[in-house]
Amino acid sequence: MRIRGRTLPALLLATALGVSALSVNALTAASASTPDSAPPAVSAHAGHVMGASALPSGDDPDGDGYILANPQVTGVTPSTAVPPPAYHHEFQAGCAVTHAAADDPILYPGRPGASHDHTFMGNTTTNAHSTTASLTAGPTSCTAPADASAYWMPSLYKGDRKILPVGPQVIYYKAGVTDYRSVRPFPKGLRFVVGSPTQSAQEFRNHKGFVEGWECGDSFFNTDFPASCPSRPDVQLNLRFQAPSCWDGKYLDTPDHKSHMSYTVVKPGTNDNMCPASHPVALPMIEFKMAWPVNGDMSQVRLSSGRGYSFHYDFFNAWEERTLKALVDHCIVGGLQCDTRGFDLYRPERGAVLNADHRLP
């Protein structure tokens, strides 16, 4: 017997131990603090106690951690088709930093100051009380006004000085599956966490979202911050990290903020990537490509969540649906390498999606 995603034995065990149902919710939510491949566990982390987020909030009034999609996407079979060759299938969302705060509307909704410090991009109103409705109504620092989504990550410090990225940061929307034609837009209100603040260096390096690690100058594939970076104006600290792109079609969020999403799997006998049967809906794969203006001696560089390998990030979708669909269809499904306007410099004959003001005509 299951009760909203929790097995009856778990509730009976909690009762036997004198633990409240709310605490069971908290224990269930704790896997948000662990690597994607690790079992759930409750752990504390430098001002960020994970796993206590299952409380009533604007999008989750009963506080059980499950937010149903409406409508749900059913009857989808993961695509195993081989599409026409297309080296690129992506577009960019350029979003500048808006503010920093010890808030996390996914892990700690309605609890300002409960998190470690985060650097927010995109929606300018993002805070502990943010909901799908509030974000949809809020302004944005993204180049496209239709992208009211919230993007955030742990803040970076050098000593006691907070270092914020300058200018629009590159957030790619790509195809994670081989059949790029099967990708569809994010549902409004979808949210998830990528990575974990408590992961080890090895778990960070082996994470399916790991691309090139921390890099600066000629130093690449670092799981922690390099000891030093060239002291030149053109050198910044960089990181690329990819999100899962396969959705279960049922939930906009789950108690661990991850299990409704999955990374791709390899089609047997091939090198092709496809979504697993448990998460059959192919969505855009978000890739953070962040740059911090810091170099020289890096010995005092840290994240608010800890060492460099504690990097993780959050995404809360609040795109205007019509614009997101137009960009996904033209750039990802269309097999193009698009900029923030949906224009492929190498295929100018295909045109752009957005006008000069980055709005859908």
Query: pLDDT digit string (tens) for 224-271?
Result: 999 999 999 999 999 999 999 999 999 999 999 999 999 999 999 999
Confidence of residue 38 (pLDDT cuts 50, 70, 90): very low
Amino acid sitting at position 273: N
Q: In this structure, are residues 318 and 146 in contact, taking their beta carbons and an 8 Å threshold?
A: no
- How far is it, in rounded angstroms, from Cα 199 to Cα 201? 7
**Of 260, 109, 252, whose CA–CA distance to 186 is shortest?**
252
Distance of CA 5 to the CA centre of its chain: 23
DSSP state of 306: B
pLDDT at 49 over 70: no
- How far is it, in rounded angstroms, from Cα 141 to Cα 147? 9
Cα torsion through 40, 42, 48, 51, rounded to 10: 60
> Whole-structure pTM over 0.75, yes or no?
yes
**Digit-coded pLDDT (tens) for 224-234:** 999 999 999 99
- How far is it, in rounded angstroms, from Cα 158 to Cα 145? 32
- How far is it, in rounded angstroms, from Cα 283 to Cα 271? 20
Strand ranges (DSSP E) for 60-175?
67-68, 90-95, 97-101, 118-122, 150-154, 156-158, 161-163, 169-175
Whole-number pLDDT of residue 54: 60
Q: How far is CA 104 from CA 107, 113, 151, 313, in A?
A: 6, 8, 11, 10
**Digit-coded pLDDT (tens) for 142-168:** 999 999 999 999 999 999 999 999 999
**Of 256, 311, 245, 284, whose CA–CA distance to 89 is shortest?**
284
**Of 347, 338, 337, 333, whose CA–CA distance to 81 is shortest?**
333
**Of 99, 108, 47, whose CA–CA distance to 305 is shortest?**
47
Which distant-in-sequence residues (6+ apart) come within 8 Å of 117 by Cβ?
A: 100, 101, 102, 154, 155, 162, 304
pLDDT at 31 over 60: no
**Digit-coded pLDDT (tens) for 291-341:** 999 999 999 999 999 999 999 999 999 999 999 999 999 999 999 999 999
DSSP state of 327: H
Confidence of residue 57 (pLDDT cuts 50, 70, 90): confident
